[in-house]
Amino acid sequence: MPNSPLRVLHVIGAMDRGGAETLVMNLYRNVNRDKIQFDFLVNETRECDYDSEIEALGGTIWRIPRFRLVNVASYSRACHDFFSTHRYQIVHGHIGLPATIYLSHAKKAGSYAIAHSHAQNYPLSPQEAVFRAVSHPTRNVADYFMACSRQAGLDRYGSRIVEGENFHILKNGLDVERGRFDPTSRQEVRNELGIAQDAPVFGHVGRLTSVKNHDFLLKVFKQITIGLPNARLLLLGRGELEDELRKTANELGLSGSVHFLGVRDDVPRFLSAMDIFVFTSFKEGLSNAVIEAQASGLPCIVSTGVPELAKIRDQTVFLDLSLGPQSWANEAIRAYQSSSQSLRSGAYLDARRAGFDIFDSAEWLEDFYLRTAREKTATRQQGNTTC
């Protein structure tokens, strides 16, 4: 009989279409599932965006209560009970705040513990101070550390870890072939949305939450429409600020020009329909959305809260948010006026050359998991022999 695949447990908040979750799913789709299977321990009771696909791919979803600071004792008990009855050789943790708790229980049960940082630290606030204090001990608990960028690693783990042997930057890979510019999709999406083929279309992909800074984006777009009255803005994503942002769009007189499109599983089609990508986040670990937009050949206007590592094409410009909406709008209009569809067709190759092809990321991770499992097994057998 063939050997059973190695089952790796990923601990994550909820398998919705967020940046970290999408990366994990891209990896899951592209590892050899005859050798590696992913299971998930989530802090969510409802069914999430990727749950059905996970189960179709052979994964199991386990659920425990969400960590809320005030439930430290009960959350710790839930982790203890889980790892006492579900044994995994490797546990890969993506939630930062309670990582010390769940990785400690995983290690006590014999697991190899991986901590993965998907974001840089945000400006210090009471909430951020709590996060740093609670998550800090993770660097003394995990066996191995991963991050989407060097800065995301430094902010979460410190220079001792990042400069050490047990740290790796795992780039947020994507299926670059799927993300390449498609003129047919461009025409179809514009027809579906009632947008003229020659209209200037600006876009953004990201959760409608405070860190993405959509309020600033809407103000930028307001200034864009002064220079380009027929411009449209496509917003892909959902979040707790949607109602507030719709109200802001109405107050700015943009209700007929801004399209709130929700969560989509066909993002590349909508990227093909855009002319310019505008990304105004305060802070990002890397930003899958910016990489994906560049792979589609879009000129990108990006905040300095995004690491330079995310820049893979010359058409990507970084701006400080302190410059204000007017300066951002001026740069976005300049980018639109100098853009050309003819420059977009080969952009996906730039993403591949920069190391953002998901096949490369999945191959490295698959090899890492299998090698780690073999070493753990050998060490355990050696210990048994010594005894």
DSSP code for 357: B
Please give the pLDDT value at position 141.
95
**Model confidence over 79-115: pLDDT tens digits?**
999 999 999 999 999 998 899 999 999 999 999 999 9
Which tokens belong to 180?
């390449």
Low-confidence ranges of the chain (pLDDT < 70): 1-2, 120-135, 381-387
Reduce the DSSP state of residue 12 to 3 states and report it: strand
**Model confidence over 193-225: pLDDT tens digits?**
999 999 999 999 999 999 999 999 999 999 999
Please give the pLDDT value at position 318.
97
């073999």: which residue's tokens? 374
Whole-model pTM: value is: 0.84
Which tokens belong to 144?
């191995």
DSSP 94-163: --STTHHHHHHHHHHTTPEEEEEE-SPPPSP-HHHHHHHHHHGGGGGT-SEEEESSHHHHHHHH-HHHHT
Cα-based distances in Å from 377 to 121, 143, 298:
36, 16, 47
Same topology for domains 6-173+357-386 and 183-352, yes or no? yes
- Residue type, position 196, single letter: A
Please give the pLDDT value at position 1.
42
The correct CATH number of 183-352 out of 3.20.20.370, 3.40.50.300, 3.30.750.24, 3.40.50.2000 is 3.40.50.2000
Please give the pLDDT value at position 376.
85
Please give the pLDDT value at position 307.
86
Beta-ladder partners of 7: 37
CATH architecture of 6-173+357-386: 3-Layer(aba) Sandwich (3.40)
For residues 86 and 201, give the distance between their C-alpha atoms in angstroms, rounded to a whole number: 50
Domain boundaries along the sequence of the chain? 6-173+357-386, 183-352
